[in-house]
Amino acid sequence: MKRFFFTLTAAFIAVAPVRAEVLPRTENQQQETDEDSLRIYHLQQIEVVGTRATARTPVAYEDLDRETIVRNSYATDLPSALAFTPSMIATNETGIGIGGTSIRLRGTDATRLNVTVNGVSLNNPDSHSMYWYDTPDLISSVGSIQIQRGAGVSTNGTGAFGGAVNMTTEAISTVPGGEASLSYGSYNTQKQAVAFSSGLLGGHWVLDARLTHIGSDGYIDRGATDLKSYLFQAGYYKGNTMLKFVSFGGQARTALTYNGATKEEMERNGRRYNSSGMYASPTGPFTVWNSEDYEWQRVAYYDDQTDNYLQINNQLILNHRFNERWSINATAFYTYGYGYYKQYKDDAKLCEYLFPDNLAFDETGSEICRDLIREKLMRNHLGGLQAAAHYTSKWLDLAFGGSWSYYTCPHWGELDWVDELDPELYGDKRWYDNDVDKQDANLFARASWTVAEGLNLFADLQYRYVRYKAWGVNDNFHSSEVGMQPIDVNETYRFFNPHLGLQWRPAKGHTLYASFAVAQKEPTRSDFTDRYMFAADDSYPDSEKLYDYEAGYTFASPRFSAGVNFYYMDYKDQLVPTGMVNEGLNALNINVPDSYRCGVELSASWRATPWFTLGANATFSRNKIENYIDELYESPTYGENLGDRTIAFSPESMGALSLDFHHRGFEAVFQTQWVGDQYLTNTENRAQQLDAYCVTNLNLGYTLRTKAARSVRFGLTFYNLFDARYESNGYAYSYMWDGERYDMAYYFPQAPLHALANVTVRF
């Protein structure tokens, strides 16, 4: 920590003179600088045309301004900034918005939400998830965010199957400057960051850089997070051309907190209880309630129960504007990732780690169990190229282009220690080893045509090709006859995804729109590899298809805006949770023939005075699986049609309210969100449910200007202001034993009232 603070201080001292040595500019020089700034800004906007909706696009979307992004960037992960937008829910395993965070949109989980930066997909091509802590403090480097709800517009990478989050890195500045920021709050949450911009050098070059450290003990016991990140941008600008290199990423070390806790465990052991890395020890320093034996038990915890990951994202971006109508964008990208879980396994069966029979079984043939420490490792490479051309006129907008990417990732497991065994017996052995290759390519063409004053037609056609291969043996022990589960996947998918719509503006400020879109998506890795746990045969899961119908109305004036959006999302072969989980406690999915989501989204914003704005949104929906078949083996209703059932993690109602006060340098933002009941599985079991909750945050800030700095901001944020006891996420499963049904449910409790203070100096 001291070393980081030294680096922070040294960087501040090194950068500060850059501004002090800048000579006063003449009027002509200032005009040239302003023109360069405007031109560079417009050149950088070309990067997002391929994946962004505009005022002419008949889809439901939300743009987050830079002020909102900055307000949430003082320590928490980016989902915290998205949480109060329509139909959005942010979840967190550690209880304070740092570490294992994720989002859901309209009840759709993270594997079906496409996330891009500068048009490049950040979703893992294999799992399809977006791991926010693998790109630590990304929010501080983001310049703009657009959230599209529904199928949206054509995008790169994993197909958007419920929404998309499109981001750009902050625009390179032609003015020299920088900032230093310090945050500290409850649960030892802290952030230190320093950033600088060189300004325009030699009339052509611009450099930006940022270094950040975020740490926290977490609300959940032993839920510590340690994140280090960087951003580097270098741009060359000449006339109507800009070449930009962007590199960002970092190293994450997070304690494993994905076990969750049952309501009984939270009642007996406290809401911060975390069983990860726990093992029975007669001399252990801790005492917990053993729900199986109904007695208190002494335990100890392995102190290196962690997820460790390094990710580096590199992008080389070319933007060129031929004239006022034509422009092009091309991006080459490469992402490197390496990481591993480190886990203590109590009383593990040695036969499940491929030990020979003389070590795995005793003289009576019984399985031998030992405590052990294992690592599950992966190393991935993702590279590719994407390009798009754009034409803009008063009556017609055109965009067309495509992308290609290649992903490879070996997965393997190693043993660090096995109780009572010589390391020579296992030190060089991999207990599972498999590889993945994936190619993903798409072509798209998009047109927005104003056929008459106020009437606009929209068409967006995408062809997507996916080739997915996986082979080797997985980390699941199948049986004594088979050993580790074999993997042999070789699938090719060809998707045609059309988007059609129209928009009508009958009067100034009034807009009506309607659209229809088709979205298709391939299964995830776990949909293939974990299927053996419930599938009656060796069949593969099918790809999913969505028919998305949207219609809405918006009104906008200088002081008041409002909107209503109706949607009907009709799914074919949607992959939904069965009520079972794999060893990593991820939900196992199965195709259901017919399911749907339909609802209405309401939003409004009123600028009552120049210093006070009131905003609100609400979603009311119905989310159903039609004719759901019970998949719980040996249950009395196994294989029977249970009728229509609510899709898991899909509240029927939710909403948010925002009060924004600004007066001179003072600001106060009051935000509250209400989320209705959510089932954890598809059986509508009240014993496996997330209860409704309401959580409120208050963000206070004061900004002053001094001669020594451009601005100094002091901030104080209160999270969960009214001290609600709630859980934002969980998982559940059921099983049969001796003819009895057992319904298990695990929850991730969120922190009570807590605070974070911040000071940021911009110079």
Of the chain, the percentage scoring pLDDT greater than 90 comes to: 69
How many Å apart are CA 716 and CA 699, to the nearest integer?
A: 6
Provide the pLDDT confidence category of residue 22 given band limits of 50, 70 and 90.
Answer: very low
Interval 253-257 mean pLDDT: 95
Least confident of 373-377, 475-479, 610-614: 475-479
Asked whether 286 and 268 are in contact (CB, 8 A), the reply is no
Least confident of 21-25, 137-141, 288-292, 742-746: 21-25
Least confident of 71-75, 266-270, 495-499, 500-504: 71-75
Interval 448-474 mean pLDDT: 95
Domain borders along the chain are 2-256+305-762
Write out the CATH class of domain 2-256+305-762. Answer: mainly beta
Asked whether 262 and 271 are in contact (CB, 8 A), the reply is no
Query: So what's the pLDDT on residue 203?
Result: 85
Interval 62-73 mean pLDDT: 86
What the block records as the tokens of 217 is 């003990």
* Residue with the larger pLDDT of the pair 428 and 268: 268
Residue 237, CA distances (Å) to 41, 141, 243, 748 in order = 11, 20, 7, 48
Kind plus residue range of the DSSP H or E element containing 81: helix 79-82
Provide the pLDDT confidence category of residue 158 given band limits of 50, 70 and 90.
Answer: low
Interval 39-46 mean pLDDT: 72
Q: Tell which residue, 356, 311, 357, 304, has the closest CA to residue 334.
A: 311
Of the chain, the percentage scoring pLDDT greater than 70 comes to: 92
Query: So what's the pLDDT on residue 585?
Result: 61
Query: So what's the pLDDT on residue 520?
Result: 94
Query: So what's the pLDDT on residue 1?
Result: 42
Pairing of the two strands 653-663 and 612-625:
antiparallel
Tens digit of each residue's pLDDT (9 = 90 or more) over 690-734: 999 999 999 999 999 888 889 999 999 999 999 999 999 999 988
Query: So what's the pLDDT on residue 310?
Result: 97
How many Å apart are CA 723 and CA 387, to the nearest integer?
A: 49
Interval 89-107 mean pLDDT: 93
For residue 202, pLDDT over 80 is answered with: yes
For residue 489, pLDDT over 50 is answered with: yes
* Residue with the larger pLDDT of the pair 476 and 697: 697
Provide the pLDDT confidence category of residue 579 given band limits of 50, 70 and 90.
Answer: low
Interval 102-124 mean pLDDT: 92
Sheet with 142-149, side-by-side order of all strands = 60-64, 142-149, 163-169, 113-117, 120-121
Average pLDDT along the chain: 89
For residue 677, pLDDT over 70 is answered with: yes
How many Å apart are CA 238 and CA 244, to the nearest integer?
A: 12
How many Å apart are CA 188 and CA 174, to the nearest integer?
A: 37
Query: So what's the pLDDT on residue 588?
Result: 79
Query: So what's the pLDDT on residue 173?
Result: 83
Residue 523, CA distances (Å) to 126, 129, 132 in order = 9, 12, 21
Tens digit of each residue's pLDDT (9 = 90 or more) over 335-353: 999 999 999 999 999 999 9
What the block records as the tokens of 716 is 């104080």
Query: So what's the pLDDT on residue 245?
Result: 96
Query: So what's the pLDDT on residue 583?
Result: 65
Q: Tell which residue, 636, 720, 660, 646, has the closest CA to residue 688.
A: 646
For residue 50, pLDDT over 90 is answered with: no
Dihedral sign computed on CA atoms, order 423, 425, 428, 434: negative
Query: So what's the pLDDT on residue 706?
Result: 85
Query: So what's the pLDDT on residue 483?
Result: 84
Length of the chain equals 763
147: β partners:
62, 165
Interval 424-431 mean pLDDT: 85
**Amino acid of residue 131:** Y
* Residue with the larger pLDDT of the pair 327 and 428: 327
Which segment, 482-491, 496-505, 737-746, is predicted with the most confidence on average? 496-505
Tens digit of each residue's pLDDT (9 = 90 or more) over 531-570: 766 666 677 899 999 999 999 999 999 999 999 999 999 9
Query: So what's the pLDDT on residue 11?
Result: 39
For residue 18, pLDDT over 60 is answered with: no
Pairing of the two strands 113-117 and 163-169:
parallel
Interval 429-458 mean pLDDT: 94
For residue 28, pLDDT over 70 is answered with: no
